[in-house]
Chains A and B, each alone.
Chain A
Amino acid sequence: MAIFEYAPAPESVTASIREQYGLFIDGKWTAPRSGQYFDTVNPATEETLARVAYATDEDVDRAVRAARKAYDKYWRKMRPADRAKYVYRIARAITERSRELAVLETMDGGKPIRESRDFDIPLSAAHFFYYAGWADKLEWAMRAGEEPKPIGVAGQIVPWNFPLLMAAWKVAPALACGNTIVLKPAETTPLTALALAQIAAEADLPPGVLNVITGDGVTGAALVGHPDVDKIAFTGSTEVGKAIQRSTAGTGKRLTLELGGKAAHIVFADAPMDQAIEGIINGIYFNQGHVCCAGSRLLVEESVHEQIVVRLTDRIQTLRLGNPMDKNTDVGAINSKMQLDKIKELVSSGIDEGAVLVQQSCELPEKGFFFPASFFTNVQQSHRIAREEIFGPVLSILTFRTPAEAVEKANNTPYGLSAGIWTDKGSKNMYIAQYLRAGVVWCNTFNQFDPSSPFGGFRESGFGREGGVHGLREYLAH
């Protein structure tokens, strides 16, 4: 009998959600020209939260024109110190409304409130604070002889896994550098980007400086293809990223892409074992594994393989899966039915190819899209689950015998976004890190982020950097 079972601890704050959202263009909420709307649903309950405008070519064109006008009329001419004030104002508004935004993010996307409250929203605000400080110091981001100049109109397309945070990563540096923006949130998670539009309006950001349009991939393609957009920043799948690169080739548009990953998470026999387990758990089950830099490919030294499997098997049983609004939930809802189907398909391919599946044993909620925390042992380098991005709470465990083999296996992927190393030996950490082809390598930790630290990929994980000084340079002509 359970003697200390956690009672429900639902978040008590509520978020006000409108029945219907228009497009935020030129500082005003406007109806889409097509008159079409689509539903955004709560993936934990499958209930419709709101109807959201569907932007077509015409709306994209209106948004880009508004951004161009605002760029010429206000934003490029404004004193940098004044631009900074607006960015600060947005940062403060996000902080003030953090609880409400966290609730909104969790309702629309399915992630645990613990994560939206402690990670997504505070880090979003931190990016605005960080880049606000840069606005009047941009010459320090340049090389000798370069003068910082904005690029113009930026088209920014963000994914559904960290909706507000990914928007913040793009919007904050773009504004600080003097660019104007057309932002398109993901189809399944538009609500916090729309809340950001409202915050911008309340901060008196000049009309047209930030425009938010909602829609699907067709809307995104229209934005990418618009001739008056100077820069595209995209975070999402490698497949779409490739299409965007093809479409912008030869147009003179600047492009940054942050795409998929299949990160190697390397655990040596001399690792601090219990912390490595926590790192593995965080690396793959954080945000249900909907993380482009997730540590989804665990490479363990053969001599500790068995004890790691034993420890992980026990540890996943203590993860609490369920209502994302409960403050004790560790694993929330899968973002959409489509994503859930994709995860299930890849998991069954793993079983078919001979890997052994271990899952947390718990009842899944009747409604909503859920998948238990899972890992595969007996995975071979050739298996689909070792090569393709699952983007769900599913870990593949492989083994290695020597440091050289660890490096070789880690790099044997078309991706290169992140990697992790666990060893108590500092010199080994540094030595291995230099051979890993990944944009970020975490040593004895995982999923650590800070606005001052650049983030981005190698190879098919994309190019360009977000965060830090490096992130500024992507929004400056030089």
Chain B
Amino acid sequence: MSVTVDAVMLEARAGSLAKRSIKTTTKVAGIRLAIGCMDLTTLEGKDSEGRIRSLCAKALHPAPHLPDVPSVAAVCVYPNLVPAAKEALRGTSVKVASVATAFPSGLSSMEVRLADTAAAIQAGADEIDMVIDRGAFLAGRYREVYDEIVAVKAACGPVHLKVILETGELGSYDAVRRASDLALEAGADFIKTSTGKVGTNATFPVAVTMCEAIRDYARRTGRRVGLKVAGGVRNTKQAMTYLVIIKETLGESWLTPDLFRIGASSLLDDLLMQYEKELTGHYAGRDYFPMD
């Protein structure tokens, strides 16, 4: 039985965390952290190998002209494009994450979803971003959802597993908390908010709820699980708020790519623009940053 969540007070808490004033040195440190914890993502039907090579180059050196900007943590792509990404990133610290399990809906047979996962791993994926079957979850078939995560985890072996809850489809914070607890118990290495493919993606209250679940689980078992926020994180202000949420709910030790990721695409450009602004005192135009 999960603890319950009161929406009014949760949103008030998230709102007050969003009001933290992040300036000067903190902002510079925060931007570097956010870049270093980023899963630079492209998940479009028109993705090609050329596009992936371009994305990987940017992932490795987001802004060659700016000092101390780290590489991102990983690129996140569809399974077919894993080989291209692996090749482009060979010998670097940047990992390749692949979505799997019939992303984004998850509505295929278990055999297909496990085969999807196995293929991505076979192709060299370092990390797997799976989706849960929201239909089963909302129908109350929690055991089935749990068993699926366990099965995918087994298929992953040492490969890191991120479990996407698709919180925008769960309908309540109580459900977010319950799905989080379920994924944690089933052995997820990370729990992740969203696919980025539905109307509502990561939000501050959802992130707070998931952090609370992770914190309670770590308190109970000693195992530290990561959080990935994904979808709708477009600007620096939002990214800083997620760092604040992690810091004040889970603690600073969670602010590492091993335990925190932001899944995003356009966010990187805003972070770089804000970073340069902090260093030079003025904004540079969009075209001073390479497009991916």
Interface residues of A (CB under 8 A from B): 2-7, 9, 114, 118, 270-275, 278-279, 310, 318, 327-328, 424, 444-445
Contacts and interface: CB of A to CB of B under 8 A. Distances in A.
B29 interface: yes
A400 to B, nearest CB: 20
Nearest to A425: B4
A310 B33 CA distance: 29
Interface in B1-35: 3-6, 8-10, 12-13, 19-27, 29-30, 33
Question: Looking at chain A's contact residues, is the secondary structure mostly helix, strand, loop, or mixed?
Answer: loop
Contacts of B22: 6, 9
B70 to A, nearest CB: 13
Contacts of A310: 219
Given A328-B20, A445-B9, A3 B252 contact: yes
Contacts of B8: 444-445
Contact of B3 (A3, A4, A118, A274): A274
Contacts of B24: 7
A339 B209 CA distance: 38
Given A274-B3, A274-B5, A444-B8, A6 B20 contact: yes
Given A3-B255, A270-B4, A328-B20, A275 B26 contact: no
Question: Looking at chain B's contact residues, is the secondary structure mostly helix, strand, loop, or mixed?
Answer: helix
Given A2-B252, A6-B26, A278 B19 contact: no
Given A3-B252, A4-B33, A279-B9, A272 B4 contact: yes
B6 A272 contact: yes
Interface in B201-252: 212, 219, 243, 247-248, 252
Contacts of B25: 7
Given A3-B255, A4-B29, 7 more contacts: A4-B26, A6-B21, A7-B24, A272-B3, A272-B4, A275-B10, A275-B13
A7 B23 contact: yes
A270 B6 CA distance: 12
Of all A-B residue pairs in the complex, the 9 with the closest CB atoms, nearest first, are A9-B21, A275-B9, A272-B6, A327-B21, A275-B6, A424-B4, A7-B26, A272-B4, A7-B25
B180 to A, nearest CB: 12
B30 A4 contact: yes
Contacts of A444: 6, 8-9
Contacts of A7: 23-27
A328 B240 CA distance: 14
Interface string B22-64: 1111110110010000000000000000000000000000000
